Copies of this chain bind each other. A is one copy, B any other.
Amino acid sequence: MITEEVLKDIFKPRNLKWRTSITKVEPNKLTTRGYPQEDLIGNVSFSEMIHLLIKGKLPSKNEAKMLEAVLVSFCDHGVTPPSTQTARIMASTGSPLHACIASGLLAFGKNHAGAIEYAMKILQEGIIKAEGDTRKIAEEIVDHFLKNKEKIFGFGHRYHNEDPRAPRLMKLAKKYNCFSKHSELAVAIESLLFEKKNIRMNIDGANGAILSDIGFDWRVGSGIFMIGRLPGILTHVDEERTRESSFRKFFEMDEIYYNGI
């Protein structure tokens, strides 16, 4: 018999495992962050779209210009980054494009592109702790890292002693009114580090500070780096495929040193 209990069990709310607030998908209708996609296409820039997706709202004019510059600055660093090397080696083995690019991104570890995430974490936690006294917290951060003989994420570069991208980005941050607390802290840290160790801000420090000032959480920082770098990795995969012979040797046997039994 269909008792009340039976019906309650039947009509109990279904367990909805998939919830999202990003895009509403209906037949022939896609609404992202409240906007029909056909209204976004052709009316907002790609940078504005990125901001809308991640932060749930469109950026101001200045923020959009700043984000555009940040994304451009991540473009490429030749074949020196491990992510580029692995993507190219992968391409050489005949792996498909998406596997090459995925592998490139997997190289974004703590020591490589992951650095921007840690730089943002240091700056964002620093600002919360600083309560207005930027200089003091900069000193604490620098002292902490120097004492532990560790590198401060976002400062120093293994190829450049003066990363040309950082000052350009800082200048634009001022122009676009995106130079705020986190950028100030980054500059204060740089000033101390330069004095003591002749070390300057690098691209991760500059972009980490700017993205923090625009309001991005440090947890998405290296994701934004990935967005900016993916076109470069794609281009390297394409270059490897079209210009080099497949399955080539990336080094000779006499470049290997065997030091076992």
Instruction: List residues of A whose CB falls within 8 A of some B CB.
Output: 2, 7, 10, 14-25, 27-30, 32-34, 36-38, 40-42, 44-47, 49-50, 53-54, 65, 68-69, 71-73, 75-80, 82-83, 85-86, 89-90, 92-103, 105-114, 117, 158-165, 167-169, 172, 175, 217, 219-220, 222-224, 226-228, 230-232, 234-239, 241, 243-244, 246-253, 255-261
- A79 and B89 alpha carbons, distance in the complex (Å): 13
The answer to whether B41 touches A259 (Cβ under 8 A) is: no
- A247 and B37 alpha carbons, distance in the complex (Å): 24
- A72 and B259 alpha carbons, distance in the complex (Å): 22
The answer to whether A223 touches B97 (Cβ under 8 A) is: yes
Distance (whole angstroms) from the CB of A75 to the closest CB of chain B: 6
Question: Which of the residues B24, B86, B162, B230 comes within 8 Å of A226, measured between beta carbons?
Answer: B230
Ranked 4 nearest A-B pairs via Cβ: A21-B260, A94-B110, A95-B109, A93-B109
The answer to whether B75 touches A37 (Cβ under 8 A) is: yes
- A75 and B165 alpha carbons, distance in the complex (Å): 28
The answer to whether A107 touches B95 (Cβ under 8 A) is: yes
Q: A82-B90, A93-B111 are in contact. List 20 more A-B contacts (CB 8 A).
A: A2-B7, A16-B256, A16-B257, A18-B256, A20-B257, A21-B259, A28-B163, A45-B68, A78-B258, A80-B253, A85-B89, A86-B103, A92-B111, A93-B107, A93-B114, A95-B98, A98-B109, A106-B106, A158-B247, A220-B234
How many copies altogether? Answer: 4
The answer to whether A32 touches B250 (Cβ under 8 A) is: no
Question: Which of the residues B46, B92, B164, B247 comes within 8 Å of A71, measured between beta carbons?
Answer: B46
Q: Considering residues A71, A168, A222, A235, which has the most beta carbons from chain B within 10 angstroms of its beta carbon?
A: A235
The answer to whether B41 touches A72 (Cβ under 8 A) is: yes
Distance (whole angstroms) from the CB of A14 to the closest CB of chain B: 7
The answer to whether B257 touches A23 (Cβ under 8 A) is: no
Q: A105-B105, A238-B54 are in contact. Are A82 and B72 (CB under 8 A)?
A: no
Q: A22-B239, A75-B32, A243-B19 are in contact. Are A161 and B112 (CB under 8 A)?
A: no
- A94 and B89 alpha carbons, distance in the complex (Å): 19
Question: Which of the residues B79, B227, B247 comes within 8 Å of A111, measured between beta carbons?
Answer: B247
Distance (whole angstroms) from the CB of A18 to the closest CB of chain B: 5
- A101 and B224 alpha carbons, distance in the complex (Å): 11
Question: Which of the residues B27, B100, B106 comes within 8 Å of A159, measured between beta carbons?
Answer: B27
